[in-house]
Amino acid sequence: MPRLLRPRALRPGDLVVVASLSGPLHAVHEPDLEKAVAVLQRMGFRVRRAPLLEAGRHRWWSAATPAEIARELNGLLRDPEVRAIIAHDGGQTVFGYLDMIDVEAIMADPKPILGYSDISLLHLALYARTGLVGFHADVATPGLGGHWQAAPAARQAVLEKLYLTLLTGTEPIGALPATPSWECWRAGRAEGRLIGGVINRIVLNQATRYALPLEWFDGAVLFWEELGGQASHVWSYLQVLRHAGVLDRIAGMVVGIPTAIDGLDSPDASPTLQEMVLDVLGDRDIPVLGNVEVGHAGPNLPMPVGIRVALDAQQLTLSLLEPAVRPLTVTGPGG
């Protein structure tokens, strides 16, 4: 198992940079980005936009070429003033620059990188290469500036406090704040390292040189979600994880709220997501907590990749047993 590489805890006034790590910023979403910046400032951080985060700028489906995005990301990783990086959105670009990331800069000064969707690929690959704790959490524009704004004020306050504690606190957070959507799909309890992301990125990453060693899944709690496509695609991804041996090694599973997946609960008797998950798991005694806010449905609960968690599916609880950041007084890159 890797030695965790925890970023340094953030302090009030630290600089957080919003960057285009994958998809472009469309002009119509500029107001949402401004709302996201306001959320981060309300948490007590200084906020800066990276140069590639310019409304209307794009190259194909990306904010820029993979090399340009990597160059900007590496600059942020090397800049000691930058203490955290949050993706403006997901997209389809991270695969293009996985081999261009300055891993030495991460090892020398690990920083929280926040995001989900395509950004979950960054979390998985960097965890595999360095042990870096990945902050699978809301992106800026459709997340902090979108889903958060549509949530009730009380939920916004809970999330703001949770994210601030995650980034600045050096004690375990404990139980994440549940909502009525959570469901027990298979009862049981488990403790283990949290590993996951968008399920298609999990599967595709395992086909690259940045795949997590199979033994890293031993006793892990696997979390995943998916956006779009067909229900049969999700079933196939789960089957790939079964064939790869992942499902034989994990101790628990957390499933996000499905978003825009064709074929779920349709009139032609297609299965529910719960039915598909349990079908692929078979007789494996793995507790499953379903319909948790860990992806595109938002607003997101943070899932720090690599951190030990406790799952009790029947009691509908998921608890972070370790801090995601290290105290300011600790020297060296590790935690």
Please tell me which residue in 20, 22, 62, 117 is annotated as part of the active site.
117
- Asked about 120 being catalytic, the answer comes back as no
Beta-carbon neighbour count of residue 1 at 10 Å?
Answer: 12
Beta-carbon neighbour count of residue 62 at 10 Å?
Answer: 24
Omega into 7 within 30° of 0, i.e. cis?
no
- Asked about 147 being catalytic, the answer comes back as no
> 198-220: buried (b, 16+ CB within 10 Å) or exposed (e) per residue?
bbbbbbbbbeeebbbeeebbebb
- Asked about 181 being catalytic, the answer comes back as no
55 touches 25 (CB < 8 A): yes
- Distances 200 to 45, 93, 286 between C-alpha atoms, Å: 33, 14, 21
Sorted by sequence, the CB contacts under 8 Å of residue 226 that are 6+ apart come out as: 198, 199, 200, 233, 234, 237, 256, 258, 259, 261, 295
251 touches 192 (CB < 8 A): yes
Q: What is the DSSP letter of 236?
A: H
**Of 150, 89, 94, nearest in space to 296 by CA:** 89
Residue 144 has, within 13 A of its CA and on its CB side, a CA count of 28
| Locus of tokens 């959490």 | 137
**Of 32, 123, 128, nearest in space to 85 by CA:** 123
Cα 101 to chain center, whole Å? 18
**What are φ and ψ of residue 43, in 5° steps?**
-75, -10
* Distance spanning both ends of the chain, measured CA to CA: 14
Please tell me which residue in 20, 29, 120, 225 is annotated as part of the active site.
225
**What are φ and ψ of residue 83, in 5° steps?**
-110, -15
The catalytic residue positions are 117, 225, 296
